[in-house]
Amino acid sequence: MYETERPYMPRAGVDAAAFDEGLRSYMLGIYNYMASAVALSGIVAFLVASSPAVSQLLFTTPLKWVVVLAPLGFVMLMSFSFERLSKTALLGLFWAFAALMGASLASILLVYTGASVARAFFVTAGMFAGVSIYGYTTKADLTKFSTFLMMGLFGLIIAGLVNMFVQSSMMQFVISAASVLVFCGLTAWDTQRLKDTYIEAAGTEIEGKLSVMGALSLYLNFVNLFIALVQLFGNRRD
């Protein structure tokens, strides 16, 4: 059984007021990193989409596999090398990852109209903010949904791979709709999980590194939610 509520208490000997201030600063730092990465991705996506030569090079040559697979490589490198990398190194990898993601996301600007992409972005921002605030403020224990959410995530990955060969528009619609639900849930859960990590990491050497990894988690949720909304409601170019 899971507890229905979870108190956020500092470790023994830590002043409660200082703990609350530190938690706010920690979460603000995560959101700042995440927002900066989203902005960097947007700038890179716009620059790539605005250059026919660069777009053709990245999406019609074998380099497209670098654009597709390199971000995954960066995520794996950051995750598996977390213990031995410094915060500065993790940040450098994070910015490089965000730039590569921007190059990949340029394909969205080439397929969908600018107005529909902008609309999807602002809807994504509103939804993300709402569920993240819920995850931060709720006293309910969201970990009881974590297994369901992770199963949903793996299901989306498998369904997406299958649809690469099937090319079913109906299946893509279902995948996109399910993605909205799954990544909204993951955003709320990850936000609460990040609060949990601060309880143990406050004042330790890994606090800064955890803030970078937390920003990575929220960034991935935001981008995947954005992609799902574009696929659901975006208007394709003629």
Residue 102 · residue 45 · CB < 8 Å: yes
The pLDDT tens digits of the residues spanning 177-235 come to 999 999 999 999 999 999 888 887 777 778 889 999 999 999 999 999 999 999 999 88
- Cα–Cα distance for residue pair 195/20, rounded to 1 Å: 11
Nearest of 188, 218, 214 to residue 201 by alpha carbon: 214
**Can you give the residue ranges of every domain in the chain?**
16-233
At 81 the three-state DSSP class reads coil
pLDDT digits (tens, 9 = 90+) for 110-159: 999 999 999 999 999 999 999 999 999 998 889 888 888 989 989 998 99
d(CA 166, CA 183): 24
Rounded to the nearest 5°, which phi and psi values hold at 80? -80, -20
DSSP labels, 171-234 = HHHHHHHHHHHHHHHHHHHHHHHHHHHHHHHTTSTTHHHHHHHHHHHHHHHHHHHHHHHHHHHP
Q: Supply 144's token pair.
A: 């009881």
Both structure tokens of 182: 């799954």
What average pLDDT does the chain have?
88
